[in-house]
Structure 1
C-alpha cells in the first residue's frame, strides 16, 4: 500500500510539471506571435515556476491521491493567467494586441465558473482546490489592475491589492479569518471584478467610460469588503462580550469578499 501511495503521489506531482510545461509552451506561442520582450518572458517564467513550486508543496502536504478534474481546469486557467501576466509585463515596452489580451483574459474568466461546477459534479471539492481557485482569481485581478492602472492611474491598484491587504490585516487581527456566511452578493462582486477590469483595459470605450467602469469595480469591492469586515467585527464583539469565549477563529478557504 505504501508503494501505491508513493506512486500516486508521483503522478499528482507530474501534473503540476505538465502545467509548468504548458505555461512555457504558451509563452513560446505568444513570443512567436508578438515577440515578447525580456520582461514578458521573465514574468511568465517566474509565474510558472512559482505556481509549480507552491502547488507541488501544497499537494505534498495535503496528501491527495488524485489531482482531480477540477484542479486540472484551474491549472489550465492558471496557465492562461501566466500568459496574461507576460502580456501585462511586456506592455510597458509595447501594447499587446487587444485581441490576444482580451482572448486570454476572457477564457480565463469563463473557466472560473467551470472548475467549481466540475468539483461539485464529481464530488471532488477540497480545501486545496478552493484555495487554488481563489489564489488564481486574486492574482488575475491584481495583474489586470496593474494593466488598467497604466491607463487610468495608480488608484486602480487598490482593486487588485485589496484582497492581499485583507490577508495581511488578518495576521494582525485573527478574527478576520473567521468563516463568513454564504453570500450571493459577495460572489457576484468577485465575478464582476475581472469582467469590469477587462472592459476598462480593452480600450474599446472612451476614456471617461473606462474610468467610470473602474470606479464602479472599486466601489463594489469596497462595499463588499466593508460589509464583511463589519460583520466579522460585530461577531467578534458579540463573542467577547458574551459569557462564553469563542475559540480562535478557524481559517477557511473563502477568506475574503473578493
Structure 2
C-alpha cells in the first residue's frame, strides 16, 4: 500500500473507525507509517474542554526513550513544531520552521539522535467542541523523494488528521454522542466531491450549479455538523459513516 492508493486510504479510515482505545489507535498509527513509508506519526491533543491538564492525550510512534525525555523536560514549551503549530491553521512543513536560534538547533539535533525523522509535516486541528490538536507525520527520505510525496501527503493526511482526532476524542470520553445530523442531498454531494479534491468551481460544473451555490451548501453543511471548515466536516461525515472516504 502506498500514498495515493484509494484502497490503502479506505482501509486506514476503516481501521481508525474500528479503534476503541488509544492503544489500538497507536497500532493504527504504526500501520499508517508502514503503508506510507513514514518514520513516525504523532497525534497531540493540546487542549480539550473538560480536561484538567494541558496536552491531555498523546498517541505517538516515537521511541519510548524520546517520549519520556520529551515529557520529563517539558519540551512542549520549546518544540518549534508545537510553538508554530498551535498558532496557525495551515499545514506546516518542517522545512519552513525557524531553526536560527540555538534552542531550536539543539532540540532538532537531539530529536535526530532518537530517529524522530528528518522531514516532517504538521496539521493543526480545530475540533468541533473547541479542541485544539496537532497531527504530525515524519520521514527519513531523500529531499527529492520527500518533495515528490509531499503533495499527496498534504492532501490525504488533512482528512486523516481530522478523522483520527474526532475518533480519539470520542473514545477518550471528551465528546458526547449526538444524533446524526440531517444533511440535504446537495450538501452531501458537495462534501463528497470536496473529499475527492474538487474545487467549488469543479463541483459546480459537475452538479450543474454555480460555484457560489456550492460554497453555500458547504457552509450550511459545516453549520449542521458543527464544524469549522470543510475538511473537518468531511472527517466528521466519514466518522459518522455518512460519507465514504
Per the normalisation by structure 1, the TM-score is 0.27
The structure that has the greater radius of gyration is 1
Greater helix percent: which structure?
A: 1
Greater percentage in strand: 2
